[in-house]
Amino acid sequence: MKAIYLILLLLFISTQMLLAQAKIESDIDAALVNAKKGVYWALSNISGKKARLDKSLINDDQLIARVKLEKELNGVKIESTGFSQTNEVTIVLYRSKDSLVKEGYIKKGDIEPYDEEE
């Protein structure tokens, strides 16, 4: 009889742990989706004249992503932090000028070395 109670107790504990892990996984996924939205926003806004862009993406009065775009000599660095409730996920993406041209995000010659004052 004690063995049955022990097995049921272990089963209950393992079920609770699995449910908690599934909740954490879904929270991380929501923040990751928002971080991806920031990356897509940055990729679509590369062609400006500024060497750096900082943008907060807000939807329904909630901060969903904070995006930093830095143009470098031969490409860009994108850092996007996605938020969901109390969770945040950061994606750092480096893209070369050649890959940006190949994928159609910029035209050849769009990214040039920039001065900090621009």
Task: Express each pLDDT in 81-118 by its tens digit.
Answer: 999 988 999 999 999 989 988 988 888 766 655 444 44
User: Would you say residue 11 has pLDDT above 90?
Assistant: no
Burial of 71 by CB count in 10 Å (0-12 exposed, 13-18 middle, 19+ buried)?
A: buried
* pLDDT value for 109: 66
Listed by start position, the domains of the chain span 29-102
- 64 and 83 Cβ atoms separated by less than 8 Å: yes
Q: How far is CA 11 from CA 1, 14, 89, 90, in A?
A: 16, 5, 32, 35
Q: What is the per-residue pLDDT for 117?
A: 45
Q: What is the mean pLDDT of the chain?
A: 84
Give the residue with greater pLDDT, 37 vs 20. Answer: 37
What are the residue ranges of helices labelled H in 1-118? 2-44, 97-102
pLDDT band for position 64 (50/70/90)? very high
In the chain, the percentage of residues whose pLDDT exceeds 70 is 81
For the whole prediction, is pTM greater than 0.85? Answer: no
